[in-house]
Amino acid sequence: MSVAVVGSVALDTVETPSGVNKDGLGGAAMFFSLAASNFTRVHLIGVVGDDFPQEHIDLMASKNIDLDGLEQVEGKSFRWTGKYHDDINMRDTLDTQLGVFETFQPKLTDAAKNAKYLFLGNIHPSLQLDVLQQANADFVALDTMNLWINETREDLEKVLAKIDCLIINDEEVFDLTGERNLVRGVKKIQEMGPSIVAPKKGEHGCLLFVENKIFSAPAFPMAEVVDPTGAGDTFAGGFMGHIAQQNSIDYDTLKQAVIHGSVSASYTCEDFGPERLKTVTTEDITARYDAFVELSRF
Amino acid sequence: MSVAVVGSVALDTVETPSGVNKDGLGGAAMFFSLAASNFTRVHLIGVVGDDFPQEHIDLMASKNIDLDGLEQVEGKSFRWTGKYHDDINMRDTLDTQLGVFETFQPKLTDAAKNAKYLFLGNIHPSLQLDVLQQANADFVALDTMNLWINETREDLEKVLAKIDCLIINDEEVFDLTGERNLVRGVKKIQEMGPSIVAPKKGEHGCLLFVENKIFSAPAFPMAEVVDPTGAGDTFAGGFMGHIAQQNSIDYDTLKQAVIHGSVSASYTCEDFGPERLKTVTTEDITARYDAFVELSRF
């Protein structure tokens, strides 16, 4: 089965202790699509400006990504500039230029409407609601951020009531629920709608709550993290890609999907932007999945 | 096989969001011993003052703990007072009264000298060195803290060169090596001596590095942490207790030991001081070990 994703496609300028990547291919929906396309067909819904390099479009088109829903319109592409600290888990946003993304009104193609699996990337919850109304998906997962939690809570709660799965940073569980304890916080989120909640903990891995069951996935220990940008988005891509490929949301599949998400995220961190991810093979994915088995088996 | 431990036995006054525990039984060696005694015989080497309540000694004596090496001398027992934040992972030390612990000169009993397994609790590294000279252990693990890392580094390096295993908080890896990356930091520690390093990450679990192999253990997700005091020490106790019980340091045993350490630590957090731990049964340990299997299996 295929998966549809709605979100940003951007040009990122990133500085990390390993160096600088200027105007690199970025954006949550791009990272998601690249990771998910290793598992299944992806329908990308997004927008870029007329300044968007053709090579970036060619790269995405060379993968199992349907770009019929990627509009290219007059204006500037979304640009994000960030700098990571020596502690690579911390970063500052130096500049955000929304450009054509500011007035983005997602329009789903027929293929995206009919995708059985849908990922609502981190955009205004009123747009996420609008996409939900266009879509016929059986299983919907969502990302959000503290901006929407704090500024547009009412809309966000409407979306949460309609979705199946929330993929969220662990500190956002506190923003959303006021609970510092993750177990209690997730319980509150489940009461808002999604029975499946996956709090991401960066270098500490990820938890998966499915109703009353809890699974804990490690992060892949890395001697060097070149650029963590997009790690969370590729986690979601690997997670949803595996679910769509298996066409199942049983507990075992969901747990394996978390590991596939973690595999994608770990490769993403090995180089700037999508550089490493774009050359990842099925064999690479299998090898790292096996490494996760070794890492956590006792 | 039995295990010997050298370290503090104390009276703790602790405030957490769940309440206050005044003059409770505390100290690293006590927590270690209580956890390890669920697996094997423990020889405790420590000191308390003449103000130390007999009921605390009776409790320890009722377990599989040999107290021949616990001196009771004239003066005040070691007292620690701490307060945890609403974010239970953070705490402030409000008061430390070393009392008779200030002039503690560990003297190993014959049973402790001949224990095959030895844990050097968090005391001045020159005392740890002195204990090492008295002991005949085959396998030695060590705890330390930022005070010794910063103030008595030369002595600490001498101890590190002689031990097999370092159990350490993850932030202390940075203090000790200057490396923010845990994989690189542990490699530097291994070059200082111990081939086995277990960086504890609190609510994020624990890693185990054995030469070039890495194992990642989850923490047990808890809806309420009543009092985390002693969690790290009972982790070490469960870890060493299992190793001594199995009389093996092969990789599989070490991984299972990390899980048994995590089991002990999780029970410790369920109530103040050693309240929960002192009633834990073999069945409780097996049940939670199985829960760790469920938590991490995919």
SS3 content of chain A, % helix, strand, coil (to 5): 40, 25, 35
Sign of CA dihedral B173, B176, B179, B185: negative
Mutation site, B210, B216, B259, interface A, largest A CB count within 10 A: B216
What's the DSSP call for residue A274?
Answer: T
Architecture of the B3-296 domain: 3-Layer(aba) Sandwich (3.40)
Contact at CB, A298 and B259, closer than 8 angstroms:
yes
State how far the Cα of B258 lies from the Cα of A280, in Å rounded to an integer.
Answer: 33
Contact at CB, B87 and A180, closer than 8 angstroms:
yes
Helix residue ranges per DSSP H, chain A: 28-36, 54-62, 110-113, 125-134, 146-151, 153-160, 170-177, 182-192, 231-246, 251-268, 282-296
Q: Find the length of chain B.
A: 298
Contact at CB, A225 and B295, closer than 8 angstroms:
no
In terms of phi and psi (left: phi > 0; alpha: psi -120 to 50; beta: otherwise), the region of A27 is left
Residues in chain B whose Cβ is within 8 Å of chain A? 86-88, 180-184, 187, 201, 203-205, 207, 214-219, 221-225, 252, 255-256, 258-259, 293, 295-296, 298
Q: Above 0.85 for ipTM, yes or no?
A: yes
Among A107, A113, A167, residue whose Cα is nearest residue A138: A113
> What is the pLDDT, as a whole number, of residue B34?
98
By CB atoms closer than 10 A (0-12, 13-18, 19+), residue A144 is buried
pLDDT band of residue B91 (cuts 50, 70, 90) is very high
Strand partners, A206: A200, A217
A chain contacts of residue B223, beta-carbon cutoff 8 Å: 181, 183-184, 187
State how far the Cα of A45 lies from the Cα of B220, in Å rounded to an integer.
Answer: 39
The mean pLDDT value of chain A amounts to 97
Task: Provide CB contacts within 8 A for B254, sequence distance 6+.
Answer: B196, B208, B210, B215, B243
State how far the Cα of B119 lies from the Cα of A35, in Å rounded to an integer.
Answer: 46
Inter-residue contact A4 to A240 (CB < 8 Å): no
Among A144, A165, A169, residue whose Cα is nearest residue A155: A144
The count of C-alpha atoms lying within 13 angstroms of the C-alpha of B36, restricted to the half-sphere facing its C-beta, is 32
The rounded percent of chain A whose pLDDT value lies above 70 is: 100
pLDDT band of residue A67 (cuts 50, 70, 90) is very high
Q: Closest partner residue to A259 among B88, B219, B298, by Cβ?
A: B298
Inter-residue contact A270 to A37 (CB < 8 Å): no
State how far the Cα of A139 lies from the Cα of A14, in Å rounded to an integer.
Answer: 33
**Residue that the structure tokens 């000279």 belong to:** B133
The rounded percent of chain B whose pLDDT value lies above 90 is: 99
Contact at CB, B225 and A256, closer than 8 angstroms:
no
> What is the pLDDT, as a whole number, of residue B196?
98
Q: Which residue of B lies nearest to A174 if distances are taken between CA atoms?
A: B87
Inter-residue contact A163 to A134 (CB < 8 Å): no
Q: Which residue of A lies nearest to B260 if distances are taken between CA atoms?
A: A298
Question: Helices A153-160 and A182-192 meet at what angle, rounded to 10?
Answer: 80
Q: Would you give the end-to-end CA distance of chain B in angstroms?
A: 34
Amino acid in the structure at residue B218: P
For residue B200, the surrounding DSSP H or E stretch is strand B196-200
> What is the pLDDT, as a whole number, of residue A218?
98
Q: Closest partner residue to B216 among A183, A259, A295, by Cβ?
A: A295
Contact at CB, B223 and A298, closer than 8 angstroms:
no
A chain contacts of residue B216, beta-carbon cutoff 8 Å: 205, 218-219, 221, 295-296
> What is the pLDDT, as a whole number, of residue B102?
95
Among B278, B238, B222, residue whose Cα is nearest residue B18: B222
Instruction: State the nearest Cα–Cα gap between A229 and chain B, in angstroms.
Output: 17
A chain contacts of residue B88, beta-carbon cutoff 8 Å: 180-181
Instruction: State the nearest Cα–Cα gap between A87 and chain B, in angstroms.
Output: 6
Contact at CB, B183 and A87, closer than 8 angstroms:
no
Give the global pTM.
Answer: 0.96
Among A272, A268, A214, residue whose Cα is nearest residue A237: A268
pLDDT band of residue B5 (cuts 50, 70, 90) is very high
Contact at CB, B221 and A187, closer than 8 angstroms:
no
The 3-state DSSP class for residue B263 equals helix
A chain contacts of residue B224, beta-carbon cutoff 8 Å: 181, 184
B chain contacts of residue A259, beta-carbon cutoff 8 Å: 298
| Per-residue pLDDT reduced to its tens digit, A130-145 | 999 999 999 999 999 9
What's the DSSP call for residue B114?
Answer: T
Q: Closest partner residue to A221 among B214, B252, B293, by Cβ?
A: B214
Two structure tokens written together for A199? 């709090």
Inter-residue contact B176 to B152 (CB < 8 Å): no
Radius of gyration for the alpha carbons in chain A, expressed in angstroms and rounded? 18
| Per-residue pLDDT reduced to its tens digit, A237-278 | 999 999 999 999 999 999 999 999 999 999 999 999 999 999
Mean pLDDT of the B151-176 span: 97
SS3 content of chain B, % helix, strand, coil (to 5): 40, 25, 35
